[in-house]
């Protein structure tokens, strides 16, 4: 909106992040996995470009989960009763999270497997 202070927009965005952490168990699981990946990356001293890949997929998963949570709430708000279209929309949003998660597992394996193999040699 015109004339709105940018800091106020940030305040609402932070409250969105607060809601998703507080209300979404899956988001908290993703945060836990993120902390493990960051810890492993630091321990194994992965390269700058490997950090780039890891941070991109971490962001992809967290953003997908946040958008999925917003879509779930939108559907519950506009269509609280059981409806095939509500199911389809929610399943599509959940599918987006799954795609992001699968891609991030592959990226994690591609980055970490060579380091693990090196440790064993």
Ligand X SMILES: Nc1ncnc2c1ncn2[C@@H]1O[C@H](COP(=O)(O)OP(=O)(O)OP(=O)(O)O)[C@@H](O)[C@H]1O
Q: For binding to ligand X (CB under 6 A), which residues are involved?
A: 24, 26, 68, 72, 79, 82-83, 86-87, 90-91, 94
Query: Smallest gap, in angstroms, from Cβ of residue 32 to ligand X?
Result: 15
Question: Annotated catalytic, 50?
Answer: no
Contact 107, 57 (CB under 8 A): yes
Query: How far apart are alpha carbons 76 and 65 in whole angstroms?
Result: 16
Contact 62, 30 (CB under 8 A): yes
Closest residue to bound ligand X by CB: 87
In the three-class reduction of DSSP (H, G, I as helix; E, B as strand; rest coil), residue 4 is classed as coil
Choosing from 23, 50, 65, 118, which is the catalytic residue? 65
Q: Is 91 annotated as a binding residue?
A: yes
Query: How far apart are alpha carbons 41 and 50 in whole angstroms?
Result: 9
Query: Smallest gap, in angstroms, from Cβ of residue 83 to ligand X?
Result: 5
Q: Detail the residues annotated as belonging to a binding site for a divalent metal cation.
A: 24, 72
Catalytic residues: 65
């Amino acid at each position: 909106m015109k004339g709105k202070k940018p800091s106020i927009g940030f305040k609402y965005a932070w409250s969105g992040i607060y809601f998703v952490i507080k209300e979404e168990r899956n988001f908290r699981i993703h945060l836990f996995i993120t902390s493990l990946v960051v810890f492993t990356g630091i321990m194994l001293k992965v390269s700058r470009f490997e950090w780039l890949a890891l941070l991109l997929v971490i962001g992809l998963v967290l953003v997908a989960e946040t958008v999925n949570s917003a879509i779930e709430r939108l559907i519950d708000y506009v269509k609280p009763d059981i409806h095939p279209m509500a199911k389809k929309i929610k399943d599509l949003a959940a599918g987006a999270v799954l795609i992001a998660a699968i891609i991030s597992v592959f990226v994690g394996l591609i980055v970490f497997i060579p380091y693990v193999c090196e440790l064993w040699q």
